[in-house]
């Protein structure tokens, strides 16, 4: 059972991180109220940062959920959550998203992923990845 953890363990983290779609989309759909919220928190340049953070959250959720360079998505979320915790509040949601993002950052997205960061870079460069590019190669993605 423990030996299957790298294969299946990240899947609940990936599913949980779908919740990022809600706050990410709210930043884009309710732009005015989100700007006001950022102003209340004292975050500089809220007109710029609200859509930027919204796009980061939506992009990170997409990368993580589908296993497309999931570690990159998790790396994008860690600083966003740290700033949210430092400026707004430390709450269960922010803490859970931070912990899940760190889990994906450390363990990858697991066996059932579209691609790893290395495979993605290799395909951009026109090279073949070491694992042959299959989503079920068993490599810790």
Percentages helix, strand, coil for the chain, rounded to the nearest 5?
70, 0, 25
Distance CA 66, CA 62 (A): 6
pLDDT digits (tens, 9 = 90+) for 67-86: 888 899 999 999 999 999 99
Concatenate the DSSP letters of all residues of 7-30 into one string.
HHTHHHHHHHGGGGHHHHHHHHHT
CA-nearest of 58, 3, 1 to 26 is 58
Taking residues 13-34, what's their average pLDDT?
84
pLDDT at 81: 94
DSSP code for 135: T
For the chain, the structural domain boundaries read: 2-125
pLDDT digits (tens, 9 = 90+) for 87-120: 999 999 899 999 989 988 988 887 777 877 777 7
């Amino acid at each position: 059972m423990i030996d299957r953890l790298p294969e299946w363990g990240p899947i609940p983290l990936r599913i949980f991180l779908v919740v990022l779609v809600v706050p990410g989309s709210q930043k884009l759909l309710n732009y005015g109220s989100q700007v006001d919220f950022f102003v209340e928190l004292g975050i500089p340049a809220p007109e710029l940062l609200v859509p930027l953070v919204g796009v980061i959250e939506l992009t990170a959720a997409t990368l993580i959920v589908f296993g497309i360079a999931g570690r990159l998505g998790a790396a994008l979320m860690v600083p966003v959550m740290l700033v949210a915790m430092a400026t707004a509040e430390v709450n269960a949601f922010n803490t859970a998203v931070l912990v899940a993002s760190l889990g994906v950052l450390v363990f990858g997205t697991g066996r059932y992923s579209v691609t790893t960061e290395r495979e993605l870079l290799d395909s951009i460069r026109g090279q073949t990845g070491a694992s042959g590019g299959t989503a079920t190669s068993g490599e810790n993605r």
